[in-house]
Amino acid sequence: MDSQYLQKLYQEQLIKAGVEIHKAQQASRILTTKEFQLIGDIWPEWEAIITQFNHQEFSPEKLIALETHPSVYSLTKRFIDIIGACVGLILLLIIIIPLAIAIKLDSPGHIFYSQIRCGLKGKPFRIWKFRTMVKNAEQQKHLVINEIEGQLFKNKNDPRITRIGKFLRCTSLDEFPQFWNVLKGEMSLVGTRPPHPDEVYNYHNHHYQRLRVKPGMTGEWQVNGRSGIKNFEEVVQMDLKYQQKWSPIYDIKLIMSTIIVVLTSRGAY
C-alpha cells in the first residue's frame, strides 16, 4: 500500500466525513482534519490504516486516537440513564403544556430550540432544549460581550434571554427535553459538558480528552462550578476530573448534588 494510494483513500474518507457533517450542521467551510475527527463512526476504519504510516507525510495535523472511557461500556450506568430518562420524560409530559404556553406568550418563535453538539468521540448529534432566547438570537450574538475566557460564551445579563427564559435557566427546566437525548443514548445523565462543533474546531490537544465520554445533562461543572466558571480551562479540568473519579456511585452522588443545586438555584443564569 503506497503513499499515493493512502492519500487518495484519506481524501475519500474526508469527503465521506464532510457529507455527514454537512447533514448534521450544514457546514459551508472546507473540511479540516479536526472536523474529520468529529465523525466517530469513521475513525475506527481510518485508524487501522493510518497507524501503519506516518500521517505527517500527507497532512499538516495529527489525528488523535481517543481511548474510550470505561463508563461508556458500563451497563449499570446505561441502566441508570434509561431509568432517569424515563422519569424525566414523564415529568416533561406534565410540564410541557404550561411551559409551551408561557414561552409562546412571552416572545415569538418556536417552543423548542435545537443545536448540533459533539458527543462521544466528537460524533455530532442534535441537542434539544426549551427556547430561552429571543428569535434570531444567533444573529445578535456579536452584540453581546462574552464574560468567559476561551471557547465558551456566557453573559450574566445577556439581553437576548427572555423573561420566561430566565426562569427556565434558573430552574434548569430548559434542559428537560435532553432526557430524550439520554434515552436515545446520545447523552448520559452525568458526563462532560456537550461542546459545540465550533468549540471543538478550536480545541488544543488536551481538550480532546473531554470527548472520551458521553456528554451529560449534569456533571462536575454543574455541581461544583455551574455559571460561576469564568474560564474554559476550568471546565476542561472539571470534565477530566469527572473521568478520573467516575463510578456508578459517583454518578448517583452527582445526580443528587445536582438536584440540591437546582432547587437552591445556586450559580444559575
Q: Using DSSP, state whether 192 is helix, strand or coil.
A: strand
Compute the distance between CA of residue 266 and CA of residue 259 in angstroms, rounded to an integer.
11
Most confident of 92-96, 147-151, 209-213, 233-237: 92-96
pLDDT band at 230 (very low <50, low <70, confident <90, very high): confident
> Do residues 91 and 17 share a domain?
no
- In a domain, residue 66? The reply is no
Q: Please state at what angle helix 75-106 crosses helix 163-171, rounded to 10 degrees.
A: 160
Task: Say yes or no to pLDDT of 193 above 80.
Answer: yes
Q: For the whole model, what pTM was predicted?
A: 0.73
pLDDT tens per residue, range 152-188: 677 777 778 889 999 998 889 999 999 999 999 999 9
Task: Say yes or no to pLDDT of 62 above 60.
Answer: no
> Do residues 80 and 170 share a domain?
yes
> Do residues 24 and 86 share a domain?
no
Structural domain total, the chain: 2
> Do residues 50 and 79 share a domain?
no
> Do residues 133 and 183 share a domain?
yes
The set of residues, in sequence order, having a beta carbon less than 8 Å from that of 149 and lying 6+ positions away, is 230, 231, 232, 233
pLDDT band at 97 (very low <50, low <70, confident <90, very high): very high
Q: How many helices (H) and strands (E) does the chain have?
A: 10, 4
pLDDT tens per residue, range 195-220: 887 787 777 778 888 889 999 999 99
Q: Which range marks the domain in which residue 29 is found?
A: 3-57
Residue holding cell 445533562?
217
- In a domain, residue 14? The reply is yes
Q: What is the DSSP string of 99-127?
A: HHHHHHHHSSS-SEEEEEEE-GGG-EEEE
Comparing CA positions, the residue from 75, 72, 9, 8 lying closest to residue 40 is 72
Residue holding cell 404556553?
101
Percent pLDDT > 70 in the chain is: 68
- In a domain, residue 260? The reply is yes
- In a domain, residue 202? The reply is yes
Span 40-50, average pLDDT: 45
Task: Say yes or no to pLDDT of 31 above 90.
Answer: no
